[in-house]
Amino acid sequence: MNLSLRSSSVLDGTTHVDLATSTVRELNGALHALKPDTNETLWKIANPRGLHAIAAGLDLPVSVEIDGPVGYYCGGMNKQARIIIEGTAGVGVAENMMSGLVHVKGDASQAAGATGNGGLLIIDGNASARCGISMKGIDIVVKGSVGHLSAFMGQAGTLTVLGDAGEALGDSLYEAKLFVRGTVAGLGADCVEKEMRDEHKALLASKLEAAGILGEVDISEFRRYGSSRTLYHFHVDNVSSY
């Protein structure tokens, strides 16, 4: 157990940290100090109380289970770790994630998974505006609905939405792939509905399986959206769309 924490305990191989008596700085410092051969692989965090940047910047295959709501940037820059949030998440959950898993058991605020390069973000509830903005390889599965400008400038990765999508879905999209089961309020510039071929059904199935819900939904109910590729290079005829 890392002694820099003012209040922590180890029970049955699990490290317990209470953020009512320890600070987020102390928690993150202890997590960052872990060595690759650590046996402290399961951490349970009590009383998060919407605090910001909990479990940010991790780079080891450890599990962090947070019992309650978190604030901004929880799980940001995550590499390898498995982070479970038993509550809602504030702005930028899993922002710039590289690998691993972040699972929000409630709703997520704006910019969930923003600029994510890899890994899997699961949101059991709804996600607000700009979910997956500038995504660069992350896979995002939202079991509820997403707000406006989701996947704005999405470059790579997938966004799967079991509910509805707000206005300007996929605005200025590059090569990210979007799957929506519900209604779409409006498509952004250069985003169009595309044919759902067998390879796309297989891709979608793999993301639903990774999220543990493959047998719960009918793949035929989803529609696929992608870039029409008219904005890749500047052309004066498209100037009003930039």
| Per-chain mean pLDDT for the chain | 93
Decide if pLDDT at 1 tops 50: no
Say what the pLDDT of residue 242 is.
52
pLDDT band with cut points at 50, 70 and 90 for residue 240: low
Which amino acid is it at 15? Answer: T
pLDDT attached to residue 3: 42
pLDDT digits (tens, 9 = 90+) for 154-198: 999 999 999 999 999 999 999 999 999 999 999 999 999 999 999
Contacts of 8 (CB under 8 A, 6+ apart): 1, 2, 15, 16, 17, 18, 22, 30
What are the tens digits of pLDDT across the range 77-136? 999 999 999 999 999 999 999 999 999 999 999 999 999 999 999 999 999 999 999 999
| Average pLDDT estimate for 139-151 | 98
* Confidence (pLDDT) at 208: 98
Residues 6 or more apart whose Cβ sits within 8 Å of residue 239: none
| Kind and range of the H or E run holding 27 | helix 24-32
Domains of the chain from N-terminus onward: 8-241 (2.160.20.60)
Residue indicated by tokens 């998974």: 113
The answer to whether residues 214 and 205 touch, using CB atoms and an 8 Å cutoff, is yes
- What is the rounded CA–CA span in Å between residue 98 and residue 169? 23
Residues 220 and 91: their CA atoms lie apart, in Å, by 32
pLDDT for residue 231: 72
Residue 71 gets the label, from left (phi > 0), alpha (psi -120 to 50) or beta, of: beta
Structure tokens that stand for 43 in this block: 């951490």
Max intra-chain CA distance, the chain: 66
pTM for the complete prediction? 0.93
